[in-house]
A and B are shown apart, each in its own frame.
Chain A
Amino acid sequence: MSFHPHMEYAPARFHKSERVLADDGETFAYTPERQQAFDEVVTRYPADRRKSAVLFALYLVQQQQGYVSGASMRFVASQIGCSTADVEDVATYYTMFYRHPVGTYVLNVCRTLSCALLGAERVVEQISAALGIKPGETDPSGMFTLIEVECLGACDRAPVVMVNDDWHERLAPEQVPAFLDGLRTRGAAALTGCHLHVEEK
């Protein structure tokens, strides 16, 4: 019988966790250069605080294989000397770690207020229409992943798109087709970069 007047009491209605562990993926190990980079950065923290390097360790993983897999989290845990759960806890919290493979170019369109005021919502719509994908999806060619992100801290150059680790500033909605073509043909060289790099202009 039910102890709750509005809730059925039956096994089917029991809360069931939907948490699924990341697929294991290929066995993972850093390349020698990345291992060296990790070993160097970990010394920036006290010897008993290696866990501070976990974000850096995950960035190295993502640099190497494009996303963070279960096997790589296990590897990071062994490097840091913490549990796999500790690593998963962090990897699932921060938005810049991808838990699944993504496209060659991840288009992170800022959607927060200042960018939205100058057309960021339309930029998302145009990219969606041009690639036939919704935010969060990767196009069939595997070249582009579209993600809506929150404030990138470049509100004076709205609307801003972060493409992998580079920036493209002042992307008007009508420029979207040319922007995508530029990435297809010229790659990251087609991006405006940060306007503060005056030496390169």
Chain B
Amino acid sequence: MAYEPVLTRYVREPNSFTLEHYLQHQRGYEGLRTALGRAPGDIIEQVKASGLRGRGGAGFPTGLKWQFVLKDTPKPKYICCNADESEPGTFKDHVLMERNPHLLIEGCAIACYAIGAKVAYIYIRGEFYHVQQVLEAEIAKAYAAGYLGKNIFGSGFDCDVFVHRGAGAYEAGEETALIESLEGKRAQPRLKPPFPAVAGLYQCPTAVNNVETLCNVPPIVLNGAEWFAALGPEKNGGPKLYCVSGHVKRPGVYEATMHTTLRELIYDERFAGGMLDERPLKAIIPGGSSVPLLLPDELDTPASFDHVQKAGSLLGSAGMIVLNDTVCMVWLAQNLLHFYRHESCGKCTPCREGGDWLYKLLQRVESGEGREKDIDLLYGVASNITGKTLCAFGDAAATPVLTTIARFRAEFEAHVREGRCTIPAEWRARQPMLAGHH
């Protein structure tokens, strides 16, 4: 039986973002009404039973995250929705917020009720200004209709949802950095513990959840934990959004269950529809730029958290970047290290200095000036970043280097031997950028 999308079924329809459409087609705010008739602890138990795992990248069980939020405290509690979607190759939350914003708003309200919070902040990246306009207008409608605000459905439960606009910082997607940014500081991670569940926003108990994660909450409340778990492989239940980009015919966001294989996502007509210009596949980055590459012989891996991890990579944010045979792997590592060097928040030395060093080394190899020992040096520098930083950014920055050398060492050696890039592509710059010009 064909899979019927849960989160994105109506997103291509005109006015799918409106409250009327949501109420009419998606049993809008019934999940919230149901939840308010039950004990908060029941909601947490149900989400735990569903096996919902965080869709932001780590895949941590959402129910557990909520359970860890400190209960016996006079302090207020908070939900922070991570809408900073900045992982290269990821663009799923964008669709949800723009085309189905009420699902997120309802998810925020239920999450607040479950953990005992009265306020949810949606931290949206600054570049999503047009998305923010939609979201704020729809939040205002939810207030007007009594789905947010004081005494919702006469239950005595109050809930406010506010949108907070970031201003251009990848690091703000890390949960403690997001909290710092929300407090009006630089987006830099905190030392953990204490975890946000104990001391998060304003030093109060906080749960930070991704947009897609919160969007899964209303359907779980409405349809039950068993329904959700049964949608995918064991421990990988529920609907999942996949972002396919790069050298494919139809890049886009596709909703499927986690039974779906990487091959289907790339080649199937229901999804990306095959390789652009029928060129051969060289490699795939399955979960955003921070995860290791997979090769064509690993394509039959189901795109679930556990299967992809078993294959040696990570599902991460499900941002799949598809690479054809024109991609030089040294160039790829250089392109990504340019990103990580630029986005490093600068707090931990290995990441701040190491990232820059890696970029310069890669640039030297790519331009043909590299030396034989540079390859081992790259490996050494990258290995000295992993596990030595406060947040996962350090590991993320080292990964493109480690994975390209592990999988395509011969290309690095050819660059050094021949003193030039051995796989120049016509879509690349004619004049390679000069070192450190910006």
Contacts and interface: CB of A to CB of B under 8 A. Distances in A.
Interface of A: 44, 46, 49, 51-56, 58-59, 80, 82, 86, 89-90, 93-97, 108, 111-114, 116-119, 121-122, 124-125, 134-136, 148-158, 162, 165-167, 193-194, 196-199
B321 A93 contact: no
A147 to B, nearest CB: 9
A63 to B, nearest CB: 11
A117 B246 contact: yes
Nearest to A158: B245
| Chain B binding surface SS class | loop
Contact of B321 (A86, A113, A125, A196): A113
Given A86-B184, A108-B127, A112-B336, 4 more contacts: A52-B164, A135-B437, A150-B170, A198-B12
A46 B202 contact: yes
Q: Considering residues A59, A82, A117, A152, which has the most beta carbons from chain B within 10 angstroms of its beta carbon?
A: A117
A42 B345 CA distance: 26
B182 interface: yes
Interface in B164-221: 164-170, 181-187, 202
Contacts of A96: 126-127, 167-168
A153 B95 contact: no
A198 B14 contact: yes
A59 B89 contact: no
22 contacts: A44-B162, A49-B184, A53-B184, A59-B165, A93-B187, A93-B345, A112-B339, A113-B285, A117-B321, A118-B427, A136-B438, A149-B127, A150-B170, A151-B86, A151-B170, A154-B91, A155-B91, A155-B246, A166-B130, A194-B130, A196-B94, A199-B15
Contacts of A117: 246-247, 321, 323, 327, 427
B357 interface: no
B168 A156 contact: no
A162 B319 CA distance: 21
Interface stretch (B39-47, B151-159, B372-380, B428-436): B428-436
Nearest to B160: A44
A155 B89 contact: yes
A52 B336 CA distance: 31
A17 to B, nearest CB: 16
B77 interface: no
Nearest to A95: B168
A155 B321 contact: yes
Nearest to B95: A196
Contacts of B166: 55, 94
Nearest to B342: A150
B183 A155 contact: no
Contact of A153 (B125, B343, B427): B125
A93 B181 CA distance: 11
Q: Considering residues A52, A53, A134, A197, which has the most beta carbons from chain B within 10 angstroms of its beta carbon?
A: A52
Contacts of B15: 199
Given A113-B336, A121-B429, A156 B185 contact: no
A52 B427 contact: no
B332 interface: yes
A187 to B, nearest CB: 16
A113 B162 contact: no
A152 to B, nearest CB: 5
Q: Considering residues A118, A135, A149, which has the most beta carbons from chain B within 10 angstroms of its beta carbon?
A: A118
Nearest to B336: A113
B93 to A, nearest CB: 8
Nearest to B131: A194
Contact of B88 (A58, A82, A122, A155): A155
Interface string B287-324: 00100000000000000000000000000000101010
Nearest to A157: B251
Contacts of B321: 113-114, 117, 155
B186 A193 contact: no
Contacts of B438: 134-136, 148
A156 B252 contact: yes
Interface in B231-277: 243-247, 251-253
A114 B246 contact: yes
Interface in B118-175: 125-131, 160, 162, 164-170
Contacts of B338: 111, 150
B102 to A, nearest CB: 15
B85 interface: yes
Contacts of A158: 245, 251
A121 B244 CA distance: 21
Interface in B381-438: 427-431, 433, 437-438
Contact of A199 (B14, B76, B128, B427): B14
A192 B11 CA distance: 19
A156 B247 CA distance: 10
B243 A116 contact: no
Nearest to A80: B184
B98 interface: yes
Contacts of B129: 165
B99 interface: yes
B335 interface: yes
A47 B11 CA distance: 38
B169 A95 contact: yes
Contacts of A153: 85-86, 90-91, 94, 125, 127-128
Given A165-B130, A197-B130, A122 B165 contact: no
B366 interface: no
B94 A155 contact: no
A53 B182 CA distance: 8
Nearest to A58: B167
